[in-house]
Amino acid sequence: MMPRLSMNTTFLEACKGRRTSHVPVWFMRQAGRYLPEYQRVRSPYSFLELCKRPDLCVEVSLQPVDILHVDAAILFSDILIPMEAMGLELEFSEGKGPVFPNPVRDYRAAAALRIPDPEEDMPFVLETIRLLREALAVPLIGFSGAPFTLATYIIEGGSSRNFLHTKKMMYQEPALFQEILRKISDCTVRYLAAQVRAGAQVLQLFDTWAGALAPPDYTAFALPWVRAVLAGLRQQTDVPLIYFANNGATLLPETSRLDADVLGIDWRTPLEMAINAVNQAENPKAVQGNLDPLALFLPEKQLAERVTALLDAGQQAKGYIFNLGHGIIPETDPAQVKRVVDIVHSYQGTQP
Ligand code: CP3
């Protein structure tokens, strides 16, 4: 395949806090079930089969770029793929979401977790990245789960409401909990560094369940491992790093000081509040977010007003990337998503 000649680098520039000709936009979960084109590729396979087929992962990663004209592509995979590579059985059941039938709840199970070699154990992810780079004219985002979020899945055995097993272990067996997070963090640094070697140009850490922790517990049990992963990556790569803490408003005093290039903001946090926190930190960074994914169900005019209000607020940030404040849900109308892209791209800013 011929590489396309003109590269759209607005997303990379905004990550580094530089001014761009337009505000770049991409969407968390932009490849997925809301697109009929995705459903068509996905339907003959299970989700995990799809994740292990680089040719098909490339196809579904390209779909939102071609259909919506977003300014970045994200690797098609899942945050739980490396947990399977650590030796855990993983199933995705229709309706129930991810399931680990043998959750990690004691030292024996923690000791059995292996640190995978990304090239050996997850070659399909790296092959997808290599193929995508040949096909793309926008930057490619690689990703992983943040250590705490990944730990909740393998300790609970899947999704959870109260995080009972996770928090019981945190409080009653903190050394075991930290040992599990140490292993996940080690795996994550190796996995993300391998993604960069394969061609990923930006990395995002998804901390979906960070907001399930009271701030002191976040500081004690989750934050040190986010720091460790960011520091490990800084030693090995110079690509921009994005940290997204879902439901993270109360965590801003800590997250705004992290050594990330971009802070992803969830939809519950007022964007101005996040930008103020980030701008007051010693190392101001770019900000990404944060339209409520359900705002995509608003009538056109109100949707446009919401998007424009975020764009106005974003002008106060060192760099601003438009995104949702969490993933697109499957019932979303792709035409509404396309409308958002068009509004963002035609935004000229407010005069000072
Ligand atoms: O377009 C993209 O964003 C790239 C691909 C991507 C997927 N999952 C594909 C996917 C990314 C970046 C993820 C991240 C992910 N996976 C997160 C963090 C982001 C978030 O949403 O908070 C989490 C928590 C997971 C774990 C996971 N994967 C769950 C809980 C589920 C089931 C829930 C659901 O939406 O069905 C998945 C499945 C999954 N991952 C799908 C897709 C497209 C749906 C699978 C299908 O086609 O049936």
Look at residue 4 in the predicted model and tell me its pLDDT: 54
Given a cut of 70, is residue 26 above it in pLDDT?
Answer: yes
- Which tens digits make up the pLDDT trace of 234-243? 999 999 999 9
Q: What is the mean pLDDT of residues 141-146?
A: 98
pLDDT tier for residue 349 given thresholds of 50, 70 and 90: confident
**Inter-CA distances, 292 with 15, 155, 304, 322, Å:** 21, 29, 13, 12
What is d(CA 183, CA 254) in angstroms, rounded to the nearest whole number?
23
Given a cut of 70, is residue 122 above it in pLDDT?
Answer: yes
Look at residue 352 in the predicted model and tell me its pLDDT: 53
The residue with tokens 């193929």 is 131
Look at residue 99 in the predicted model and tell me its pLDDT: 97
Q: How far is the CA of 136 from the centre of ligand 1 (A)?
A: 22
Given a cut of 70, is residue 1 above it in pLDDT?
Answer: no
> Contact, 213 vs 248, CB < 8 A?
no
Which atom of ligand 1 lies at the shortest distance from residue 64's CA? 1
> 193: closest CA among 297, 254, 118, 97?
118
Look at residue 95 in the predicted model and tell me its pLDDT: 80
Level-2 CATH architecture, domain 10-346:
Alpha-Beta Barrel (3.20)
Residue nearest to atom 5 of ligand 1 (CA): 76
Q: Could you write out the three-class secondary structure of 288-346?
A: EEEECHHHHHCCHHHHHHHHHHHHHHHCCCCCEEEEECCCCCCCCCHHHHHHHHHHHHH
Check if 132 has its Cβ closer than 6 Å to any atom of ligand 1.
Answer: no
What is d(CA 181, CA 152) in angstroms, rounded to the nearest whole number?
10
Residue nearest to atom 42 of ligand 1 (CA): 32
Entry pTM: 0.97
Which atom of ligand 1 lies at the shortest distance from residue 29's CA? 3
What is d(CA 191, CA 115) in angstroms, rounded to the nearest whole number?
10
For residue 153, indicate whether it is catalytic. yes
Percentage of the chain beyond pLDDT 70 is 98
What is d(CA 204, CA 143) in angstroms, rounded to the nearest whole number?
5
Look at residue 351 in the predicted model and tell me its pLDDT: 54
pLDDT tier for residue 284 given thresholds of 50, 70 and 90: confident
Enumerate the β-bridge partners of residue 324: 291
Q: What is the DSSP string of 3-22?
A: PPSS---HHHHHHTT---SS
Residue nearest to atom 20 of ligand 1 (CA): 208
> Contact, 274 vs 247, CB < 8 A?
no
Residue 92 one-letter amino acid: F
Domain boundaries, the chain: 10-346
Given a cut of 60, is residue 183 above it in pLDDT?
Answer: yes
Residue 101 one-letter amino acid: P
Q: How far is the CA of 218 from the centre of ligand 1 (A)?
A: 23
For residue 347, indicate whether it is catalytic. no
What is d(CA 299, CA 296) in angstroms, rounded to the nearest whole number?
8
- Which tens digits make up the pLDDT trace of 190-233? 999 999 999 999 999 999 999 999 999 999 999 999 999 999 99
- Which tens digits make up the pLDDT trace of 293-332? 999 999 999 999 999 999 999 999 999 999 999 999 999 9
What is d(CA 66, CA 61) in angstroms, rounded to the nearest whole number?
9
Order the strands of the 320-324 sheet from edge to edge.
73-74, 140-145, 202-207, 241-245, 262-264, 286-291, 320-324
Residue 58 one-letter amino acid: V
Enumerate the β-bridge partners of residue 141: 74, 202
